[in-house]
Homo-oligomer: A and B are copies of this chain.
Amino acid sequence: MDEILLMLPGPTTVPKRVLEAMSQPIVNHRSALFGDILTKTNNLVSEVFKTENKSYTITGSGTAAMEAGISSIVNPNEKVLSVVGGKFGERFMKIAQSHNIDAKELTVEWGTAVDPKDIKEALDEDEDIKAITVVHNETSTGVAAPIKEIGKVMKNYDALYVVDTVSSLGGDYVDVDGYGIDVCVTGSQKCLAAPPGMAAITLSDDAWIANENVNSNSYYLDMKAYKKSGDKTPPETPYTPSVSLTYALYEALKIVKEEGIENRVERHHKAAKATVEAVKALGLELFPDESVSSATVTAVKMPEGITDKEFRGTTRDKFGVELAGGQDHLKGNVFRIGHMGVVSYKELAITFSAIGMTLKGLGIDVDSGAGVKSITESYL
């Protein structure tokens, strides 16, 4: 227990089995041996995405997959609608803009979720919108977007439905085919509990059709290249992939499968609910509306009278629990508890013990055991 407990919205604690998978010897990435691992890994990604479509892994962060996704289905000067209710929604818009895509912002107040009706309205207003980008789980605000309901809206429009599930896949309900998602991207280091550095993406038939007419500015992140190499037998990646991280992601996905995807998602929802209750038991306030609070990260208002540095510095340095701070204008105003991947009552008991002791120690008038007591009640 000497290690720092990572309660971050990624990277998350990686099971030993997954870490050890990385110490296997490197193999030729253009061999049948690696092709076999790649096939199995990509198939498991599709299974977790719940899609019949092929999936592709990309060596890079979730951001790389976001860029591959949008730049491969929309041409420069064409329009997209970007739902922006936090840092990652904003990033998706900026990525589109860096490719000279005309990204129109649908602004959502930070801490609230987009209303699917607003998307419908925006699409009705502008027939030229080729795609919309939505971040399922906005880690900067701790808000989950209603991607299932948005999917129902999108079925009536030609615009492609692009969803970032970087911090939700494996921890919240994602059903690519069921929700009619055209491009879905994710990262390795969140609820899948693999090490950071790998991303994955899947495209629907409609997205591939759009791709045929797109002349992407991306080279490393051009999905045409991933498709060409990935469709070989055995499959390859267009550029040298991280062999070790592929081993790790494969092992992590096997663990997801062993647990069962539904069980895993339910475990995350249970952890989220227990976290919210414990936050309230400590007299703290959630940052987002409780009804849309994320299944994988809980954003909490920083109690008055203490600084982010004091608070998170103490939980980390004195109690060995690493929490995340706020981003952009939320810096110093919120802290965030990631409950992704490896999370049970154990991690939450440690976390809320640490938070309780930290608050008390910093002079906040609080029952230091109230949070962890609430955790025991949630998991009873």
Check: A303 CB closer than 8 A to any chain B CB.
Answer: no
What does DSSP make chain A's interface, helix, strand, loop or mixed? Answer: loop
Residues of chain B within 8 A (CB-CB) of A3 are 25
Cα A114 to Cα B24 in complex, Å, equals: 40
Residues of B within 8 A of A198 (CB): 242
A-B contact pairs, 30 of them (CB 8 A): A6-B26, A6-B27, A8-B28, A11-B240, A20-B23, A22-B22, A22-B244, A28-B322, A29-B196, A59-B61, A59-B242, A60-B60, A60-B220, A61-B240, A62-B239, A63-B220, A95-B219, A98-B219, A100-B217, A187-B240, A195-B242, A196-B241, A196-B242, A197-B197, A217-B217, A217-B218, A218-B218, A242-B245, A244-B245, A245-B245
Shortest beta-carbon distance, A51 to chain B, in Å?
A: 24
Place the interface of chain A in its size category.
35 or more
A interface list, Cβ under 8 A from B: 3-4, 6, 8, 10-14, 19-20, 22-29, 31, 59-64, 67, 94-95, 98-100, 187, 189, 195-198, 216-222, 239-245, 248, 322
A62 to B219, CA, bound (A): 12
> Which of B23, B31, B187, B189 makes the CB contact (< 8 A) with A26?
B189
Q: How far is the CB of A212 from chain B (nearest CB, A)?
A: 17
Contact A14 B31 (CB under 8 A): no
Question: Which residues from B are CB-within-8-Å of A62?
Answer: 239-240
Contact partners of A19 in chain B: CB under 8 A: 22-25, 244
Question: Is A28 within 8 A of B14, CB to CB?
Answer: no
Whether A245 touches B4, Cβ cut-off 8 Å, given contacts A25-B13, A218-B98, A239-B63, is: no
Among A13, A19, A196, A222, max chain B CB count under 10 A is at A196
Residues of B near A244 (CB, < 8 A) are: 19, 22, 195-197, 244-245, 248
